[in-house]
Copies of this chain bind each other. A is one copy, B any other.
Amino acid sequence: MTTSLRTVPNRLSKTIHQTSKWGAKYKWGPQETETGMCRLSLSQEDKNVRDWFVKETKSLGCEVKIDQIGNIFAIYPGQKKGPPTGIGSHLDTQPTGGRYDGVLGVLAGLEVLRTFRDNNYTPQYPVAVVNWTNEEGARFPKSIMASSVWAGVSSLKDIYAIKSITDEKPVTVLEALESISYKGKTQANCNENPLKAHFELHIEQGPILEKETKKIGVVTSAQAYSWIGVNLKGRAQHTGTTPMDMRADPFLTAAKMTMAVNEIAERHLGLGSVAELHISPNVVNVIPKTAEFIIDIRHATDVGLENIENDIKRALENIVSDTEVILEFKRLFHNDAAHFDKSCIDIVQESASMIVGENKTIKMLSGAGHDSCSTTNANVPTAMIFIPSKGGISHNPTEYSSPEEIENGFKVLLNTIITYDARRTM
């Protein structure tokens, strides 16, 4: 089926740029819209966009629920009762982020509801647009934070206690929620406050769509990934006075490990990188005493990731075995692969084929984690829609998707929601 609802061209793009005033930063071009964003979760800027979102959705006739962890559910009424069909993503950004990551998904949801209202269209069942709290994990260092509480994967108590890392005076999640009045009364629980399905429109944040000249990515799953923290202890010694064979140089060791991580991940057709590293004292003529870094590994399957992780652990132990460098490592974070729901994926594919032509669509993995991984963990049928990211760039002020690409994504989402709603039987 295809929807006959009239849409307002580019209203979504305008909304994205209008609401970017709450957090706009890092001007990179002459146009007013050519800036990045810094809208950290539960900050004053986040409060401003949340207040606007609540007001806007209420004016469309939505019931708005705020749950205990600040997730906002704006529920557009249907003809029948039942758990809403969800459209969700997040309004928070990275500290040096762009205008589209997350924001697109929530505001496209809003645009779906506005289109319903414009056309006096009432879906069979309620449709909820969800703004999930702190997906980025930038202010409070736990990504996909609040959707994982809702899904029952993280405990509310533990999450409340997480301290911010971007404030001069750290505050807890609980304190931040209270300070902007977004600690709601609705249970943060997928059983108490359920969704029937979850659809998320998102920028790809990678280069594949652009490279393959596709317009829509039909996302079938999100990769498994792990972060492994590695601490190396060597000896701080003068670079000019310490013979090569009397050194314990943790940065040289880290260099060898970085090469091993890349080689192993590539061999297993996964991804692997070292992108965060701290050496101390970090002075040209003193061999570092310590090197600390985080390994990021990803694979389409859980077993593939496990193979990479095991090979890397063996390689790390091998690399230090003939040195005096002391190795410690531990897994800091892990996410199983999230496999999205076949019937939801099919509806996205169907909608995308209709709107941009089948040959402009591609089935793909999500490399990054998303709130849709939480809804999958909560056994909510889920699918995602990707639009191209210019140059594959994301988590960066210059992150960009064109108005046309945004419009494509919105139309695929709109058609998906209407189709899903029409086929729902309860």
A278 neighbours in B (Cβ, 8 Å): 282
> In angstroms, how far is the closest chain B Cβ from the Cβ of A92?
16
Q: Are A283 and B279 in contact (CB under 8 A)?
A: no
Which residues of A in the span 254-297 have a Cβ within 8 Å of any Cβ on B?
Answer: 254-256, 258-259, 262, 265-266, 271-279, 281-288, 294, 296
Whether A78 sits at the interface, judged by CB under 8 Å, is: no
Instruction: Answer whether residue A29 sits at the interface, using C-beta atoms and an 8 A cutoff.
Output: no
Is A211 in contact with chain B by the CB < 8 A criterion? yes
Q: Is residue A242 within 8 Å, beta carbon to beta carbon, of the partner chain?
A: yes
Mask of A207-240 contacts with B, CB within 8 angstroms, 1/0: 1100100000000000101010000000111111
Q: How many copies does the complex hold?
A: 2
Q: Which residues of B contact A242 (CB under 8 A)?
A: 206-207, 271, 367, 392
Q: Residue A96 at the B interface, CB < 8 A?
A: yes
Q: CA A266 – CA B206 in complex, angstroms?
A: 41
A54 at the interface (CB under 8 A from B): no
Nearest chain B residue, comparing its CB with the CB of A96: B281
With contacts A265-B244, A281-B96, A367-B242 taken as known, whether A207 is within 8 angstroms of B237 at the C-beta atoms is yes
Are B243 and A208 touching (Cβ within 8 A)? yes
Contact partner of A240 (CB less than 8 A), chosen from B223, B236, B238, B258, is: B223
Asked whether, in the complex, the Cβ of A285 is within 8 Å of the Cβ of B237, the reply is: no
Q: What per-residue 1/0 map shows which CB atoms of A41-81 lie under 8 Å from chain B?
A: 00000000000000000000000000000000000000000
Chain B residue numbers with a CB within 8 Å of A236 are 393, 395-396
Contact present for B262 and A252 (CB under 8 Å):
yes
Which residues of chain B are within 8 angstroms of A287 by Cβ–Cβ distance? 273, 275
A381 within 8 A of partner (CB): no
Chain B CB within 8 A of A354 CB: no
Q: Known interface pairs A255-B254, A258-B251, A273-B287. Does A246 touch B392 (Cβ–Cβ under 8 Å)? A: yes
Residue of B251, B256, B272, B298 near A275 (CB, 8 A) is B251
A394 lies within 8 A of chain B by Cβ: yes
Which one, B241, B262, B395, contacts A285 given CB within 8 A?
B395
